[in-house]
Amino acid sequence: MAGQQRAPRQPGRAERPGRDVTAWRPGVPGVVEVFHAHFTEYAYPMHVHEAWTLLIVDDGAVRYDLDRHEHGTPHDTVSLLPPHVPHNGSAATPEGFSKRVVYLDATRLGDELIGAAVDGPDLRDPVLRRRVGQLHTALAHAGDELEAESRLTLIAERLEEHLRHRSAGGGRPPRRDPLLARRLRELLDERVAHGLALEEAAALLGAHPAHLVRAFSTAYGIAPHQYLMSRRVGRARRLLLEGRPPGEVAPAAGFYDQAHLTRHFKRLVGVTPGRYRLSARWAS
């Protein structure tokens, strides 16, 4: 995260019989809105969006009309609906459907790709499907903006490959750029506590965000957001061993709050910060 920003508005939930909706706007460049919903009987009328609609279905299936052609979204499909093109939507099964949507503005995908999206909005790509799910997980947690930016950058690149009729089965091999990777690592090392947005890093290093992520991952076998989070956990461990409480350690190590620290600390260390601190105290 680039600095300790003001907490984003918590996702709002609206419930009616057969309808369960959560929506919010995260602090990630290019993301207009995140929308999670479960519908049973509700059907969308024909409508348009100003943003790109990146949609995955977790349960059930959706049928919709786009440019007078019928389409469907089974659970292994990623659907990309272009802006300004009318479409509708309804459940394709009696049980309804659960979906997760990210609305993206034109900074992520340009208007020149609208025609290709109209021709083929439903993409069968397991890698892309997995990445979109990971993006939603990152978007749901304040403090994981760098991870969300990194994942979104690679998703947008893969979507462009599909829309420009490139191969989707593995893509081009990553171009090695060890000097760029080292410069980014040094920049991350300088910003462990303060954080760094991907767009800012790209501007400082004069590189495209997607190339920046790929160069770093190729050189070090770990994504930039994973490297930064591991450095923060390492700093947190040192502070905890000094006897400082987790609530004080979290901002000092660069975490959004104590819950953010606990989630990543437990993932990398195997125990909560509180248990780690307590065990160190007893051992001494």
Q: Which residue has the higher pLDDT, 118 or 56?
A: 56
Q: Which two tokens stand for residue 66?
A: 């786009």
User: Residue 4: pLDDT band by 50, 70, 90 thresholds?
Assistant: very low
The CB-based long-range contact list for 221-225 (8 Å cut-off, 24+ gap) reads 223/147, 223/150, 224/146, 224/150, 224/184, 224/188, 224/198, 225/144, 225/146, 225/147, 225/149, 225/150
Bridge pairing between strands 12-16 and 97-104: unpaired
pLDDT of 61 reads 83
d(CA 78, CA 101): 10
d(CA 100, CA 110): 22
Asked if residue 44 has pLDDT above 80, the reply is: no
How many helices, marked H, and strands, marked E, lie in the chain? 10, 11
What is the pTM for the complete model shown?
0.69
pLDDT of 159 reads 93
pLDDT of 212-258, one tens digit each? 998 888 888 788 998 898 889 889 988 987 889 999 999 999 999 99
Q: Which two tokens stand for residue 206?
A: 């004069």
Task: Name the H helices within 31-110.
Answer: none
Asked if residue 96 has pLDDT above 80, the reply is: yes
Asked if residue 153 has pLDDT above 60, the reply is: yes
**Range ranked top by mean pLDDT from 63-67, 89-93, 134-138:** 134-138
pLDDT of 107 reads 83
User: Residue 167: pLDDT band by 50, 70, 90 thresholds?
Assistant: very low
Q: Which two tokens stand for residue 153?
A: 């950058």
pLDDT of 171 reads 46
pLDDT of 166 reads 39
